[in-house]
């Protein structure tokens, strides 16, 4: 939520989920002109602290812009 606020993106425009995989991956799927889905692997989540996660989420939201 803090990343969406910092980037002035309505929270309702972004969905996110974590899927089980040892790989270190994140991506942004733009499903409509005004919404996207962020996907993160559990392998990535297990490596990051909160600030690192916010950075990765912000990077992925950059693809949405």
- Confidence (pLDDT) at 65: 87
- Per-position DSSP letters for 17-62, written without gaps between them: EEE--SS--EEEEEEETTEEEEEEEHHHHHH--HHHHHHHHHHHHH
pTM over 0.85: yes
Instruction: With a cut of 70, say whether residue 1 has pLDDT above it.
Output: no
- Tens digits of per-residue pLDDT, 22-39? 999 999 999 898 999 999
- Confidence (pLDDT) at 24: 97
The per-residue pLDDT of the chain, averaged, comes to 95
- Tens digits of per-residue pLDDT, 41-52? 999 999 999 999
């Amino acid at each position: 939520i803090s990343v969406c606020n910092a980037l002035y993106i309505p929270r309702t425009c972004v969905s996110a989920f974590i899927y089980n995989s040892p790989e270190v991956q994140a991506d942004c799927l733009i499903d409509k002109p005004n919404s996207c889905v962020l996907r993160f692997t559990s392998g990535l989540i297990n490596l990051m602290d909160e600030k690192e996660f916010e950075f990765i989420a912000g990077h992925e939201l950059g693809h949405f812009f």
